[in-house]
Structure 1
Amino acid sequence: MSDVGCISLADVIDGQLRFNHDNLATFFDLEMFKDKPICIVSIAGAMKTGKSFMLTYFQRYLNSRGWENQSWIDDDQKFATDGFHWRCGIEPDTQGINVWGTPYLVKRSDGKEVAVVLMDTQGLFDLYTTKEDNVKLFTLSVLASSIQILNIKDLILKTDLENLHFCVEFAKIASSKKSTERIQLQSLLLLIRDWKPANSKPYGFSGGKSYLDGVLAEKKGKAKELNEVRNFLHETFKDLQCFLMPNPGPKAIKSNFDGRNDELDGDFLDEVKIFCESILHPDKLVIKMSGNEQMSARKLAYTLAACDEIFLGGKLPLVETLVETLAKAHYESAFQDCIDLYKGKMKVLLDGSRISTTDQVEKVHEEAFKEAIEKYKLVEKVGSEKYRKHFEKYLKEQCNSWKDETILIKKISNKLVTDYKKKMREILRDSCFSPKYLENLHHDVADQLVKDISVELQNNTKIHFKNCSVAILHDAFIEMKKINKENGKNWKIKIATGAGVAACAGTAVAAGVALGTGAAIVGAVVVAGAAVGVGCTVGLGAAIAGNIAIVQRVGGVVMSILQRHRRNQRSNQVKERKTMTQ
């Protein structure tokens, strides 16, 4: 994997959360995501609790393919500086929400590839950001991730549970819907850092489970609000776990600490190894889901972008507003998938010479329309009916609009193909071009015709027509290539390997030197009196490549070489006479 570094998806600027929409769109549009399940591992928590430092071990495991390499944690001199940036001290390091710039492609035992994304978040509840923005950051992290790690130092405190309250409240509203409409979060893993053995629970998942069960057990006499939080944590997340991680050792708190393995306690490295292998092994990855379906990268981008609208302002949005916003993103993404399905089926109507009749367009439209609507109706219901109905209606409108555009384009496509063939035949008359030159001519003629024909079209139809023009002219271009090839045979160009003689207007150029003019005379080499391996008969009086200007340039080059050769001959003769005189 290339060392591309981090990409910022969101940042807190002047106390306000801001999305970087360009980065968001570019990252989730990467080809590596196409048709692949996604696992997003995000780590959040209070500042200076080792979040970015832990992510470097995740990267080391993935880079080294730790599931195939037991020594992936490396030797004593290995630095923890080969990934996400981190540093010791009290100043914050990570800003906003960052992801590693390239997903890790991991193959499971069933042969399917998973795109793994590592996400880092700014330290929560520090002195630099408001409580509202902290909650927004954590909420975004949870919504984006399939595994949300919450970094907690020493012990789970009352404040830690209170800081989860917004997400719990969100789940409370979402879970009050019908079961088919419920929005449920996936996996929350509480990572307790610097766990002390004196606390009686052993390191790892087993000690973490015992500890978390005790913390979340309902206790009489405690505040009703906290008991509610504890109860809803179990209902909010499909999977709730806890891992107890030992302290990395006394050297880790020094200002010059660089993360070398030999500066870390053995218990810490052992548990880090177990932790990474437990969540990042290919067969243990948690796939990002939307209800009962795998969430696509496109839908995830829609979801995060939708949150930007309601997170702009200093105040937190109402939970109901957040639910509705996520529902809108859910159905918008579903609409886009369905309209892409419809367009893909309609596109074949405009491929090459297979320009269809209006009846054929109507028939394909009916089949594609039915399939697109059925696909949309199978989308899991989320939130209120408002957005589901809105995007279903919009899908029908867009399909019918696309059908009308296709019929119009079908009609003007006949003119495009006819005009294209007429223009190209005029150019190709008695001429032969190199393949590259012919391709350039094809693009020039096609672009100009498309531009001329589409002058009066509306913008959307104009774009549609331009995008289809390559497919429309595909077969016509193949026909032009055949004509060009046939013209080449008529020119009786001889290409021979081993020897060649160049003739220019019937005069032999005899200089013992090879003159290369491949670019001008379509790959030919003018040879002056010597066998140089490749030869071709060239007549200056002929219209090479159908362009007199080319012939003139070739003639000029030939005459220039001849003149230089004659000057050299005269110079050599003078030298010979001087030598004889002496």
Structure 2
Amino acid sequence: RRNPTALVLLVYAGSFAEKTYEWSSEEEESVRKAGPVQVLIVKDDHSFELDEAALNRILLSEAVRDKEVVAVSVAGAFRKGKSFLMDFMLRYMYNKEAVDWVGDYNEPLTGFSWRGGSERETTGIQIWSEVFLVDKPDGKKVAVLLMDTQGTFDSQSTLRDSATVFALSTMISSIQVYNLSQNVQEDDLQHLQLFTEYGRLAMEETFLKPFQSLIFLVRDWSFPYEFSYGSDGGARFLEKRLKVSGNQHEELQNVRKHIHSCFTKISCFLLPHPGLKVATNPNFDGKLK
């Protein structure tokens, strides 16, 4: 059975097995030079436009067209380091065979566009043009897509804009990373409920779990004495945060039940603060030394 993520992408890109794509010289050159490709464009009137040609260039290449697709997406509030995180994922994918995948500590962090400051950087949805072929434990190769998304709740976006981008990225993701700062607050869960319900209705799936894997990534975690950094502490923290108890208000119970009903797998990872030199230096370029 084809990966559900691939099925969604097939709606946009057509059949991998049957459709051929006529490449222009400019498109061939753009594929050779890996970089972010805008596939969902947010227009000035707050409507959305899918760039089918851009998706075709990525998904209909010889190396990818007959593979199952695993899409990894990062979503969450704007200016919280989603693109920065995605670029470390890129570095790992390019260097995953190395003992130290981080590589040269004096090398700037490149890939998806990122910067410090208070204004938004990414708009719509971008996919890295190079698809990474990865062997599953059973030896089968899958095509891994890395996807960066517009942050929610910036000053230029409506609630509908935020809900649409978040819902679309969740619908086509095998793994959705929910990028949060410092803690998992009740409004974070409420927004997740709203956005996933938007996607569930769009997929017309009301009974089965419509989405795959969700990771709560909590940045700048300041309470390692309560729950340790990493996945183990994150699992214990999330179990407590998503627990449904009889003494909770019905609204709080419903939020948690809804989230559990939407994803086949939910996990959490707690990250420490990177330090003030990273957070407050306008000239920081991602060098780790």
**TM exceeding 0.5:** yes
| Matching residue's letter, 1:252 | V
Higher helix share: 1
Q: Distance in 1 between matches of 2:83 and 2:210?
A: 27
Structure 2 CA distance for partners of 1:44 and 1:199, relative to 1, 3 Å:
farther
CA contact (8 A) 2:209 2:264 kept: no
The equivalent residue for 1:7 is: 37
The equivalent residue for 1:52 is: 83
CA deviation after TM superposition for structure 1 residue 76, in Å: 2.6
Structure 2 CA distance for partners of 1:17 and 1:171, relative to 1, 3 Å:
closer
Q: Which of 93, 99, 108 in structure 2 is aligned with 1:62?
A: 93
Q: Which of 148, 162, 165 in structure 1 is aligned with 2:193?
A: 165
Matched, 1:214 2:221: no
CA deviation after TM superposition for structure 1 residue 2, in Å: 4.3
| Matching residue's letter, 1:259 | G
CA contact (8 A) 2:70 2:143 kept: yes
| Matching residue's letter, 2:52 | H
Structure 2 CA distance for partners of 1:35 and 1:252, relative to 1, 3 Å:
same
CA deviation after TM superposition for structure 1 residue 227, in Å: 1.4
Higher strand share: 2
CA contact (8 A) 2:36 2:128 kept: yes
Structure 2 CA distance for partners of 1:167 and 1:45, relative to 1, 3 Å:
closer
Q: Distance in 1 between matches of 2:217 and 2:73?
A: 12
CA contact (8 A) 1:42 1:147 kept: yes
CA contact (8 A) 2:177 2:217 kept: yes
Matched, 1:37 2:68: yes
Indicate the SS of the match to 2:241.
helix
The equivalent residue for 1:193 is: 219
The normalised TM-score by structure 1 is 0.42
Q: Deviations over 1:235-254 (max 9, x none)?
A: 21110000001111111121
Indicate the SS of the match to 1:164.
helix
Q: Distance in 1 between matches of 2:188 and 2:268?
A: 14
Structure 2 CA distance for partners of 1:62 and 1:231, relative to 1, 3 Å:
same
Matched, 1:134 2:162: yes
CA contact (8 A) 2:91 2:102 kept: yes
Structure 2 CA distance for partners of 1:164 and 1:153, relative to 1, 3 Å:
same
CA deviation after TM superposition for structure 1 residue 226, in Å: 2.7
The equivalent residue for 1:260 is: 287
Q: Distance in 2 between matches of 1:108 and 1:148?
A: 19
Q: Distance in 2 between matches of 1:193 and 1:47?
A: 13
CA deviation after TM superposition for structure 1 residue 218, in Å: 1.9
Indicate the SS of the match to 1:31.
coil
Structure 2 CA distance for partners of 1:76 and 1:26, relative to 1, 3 Å:
closer
5+ residue gaps, structure 2, are: 1-30
Q: How many residues align?
A: 254
| More moved, 128-137 vs 70-79 | 70-79
Q: Deviations over 1:216-245 (max 9, x none)?
A: 112445442331120121121110000001
| Matching residue's letter, 2:93 | L
Structure 2 CA distance for partners of 1:2 and 1:109, relative to 1, 3 Å:
farther
Higher Rg of the two aligned structures: 1
Indicate the SS of the match to 2:220.
strand
The equivalent residue for 1:76 is: 105
Indicate the SS of the match to 1:118.
strand
CA contact (8 A) 2:216 2:269 kept: yes
CA contact (8 A) 1:168 1:229 kept: no
CA deviation after TM superposition for structure 1 residue 54, in Å: 0.8
Structure 2 CA distance for partners of 1:129 and 1:205, relative to 1, 3 Å:
same
Q: Deviations over 1:153-199 (max 9, x none)?
A: 011112111111234435587343xxxxx462100001000001356
Indicate the SS of the match to 1:120.
strand
Please tell me the root mean square deviation across aligned C-alpha atoms, in Å. Answer: 2.0
Q: What does 1:77-96 align with in structure 2 at a 5 Å threshold?
A: 77-81=106-110, 83-96=111-124
Indicate the SS of the match to 1:241.
strand
Identity %: 36
| Matching residue's letter, 2:117 | G
Matched, 1:112 2:168: no
| Matching residue's letter, 2:218 | I
The equivalent residue for 1:366 is: none
CA deviation after TM superposition for structure 1 residue 204, in Å: 0.6
| Matching residue's letter, 1:18 | E
CA contact (8 A) 1:161 1:226 kept: no
CA contact (8 A) 1:146 1:187 kept: yes
CA contact (8 A) 2:167 2:196 kept: no
CA contact (8 A) 2:218 2:270 kept: yes
| Matching residue's letter, 2:226 | S
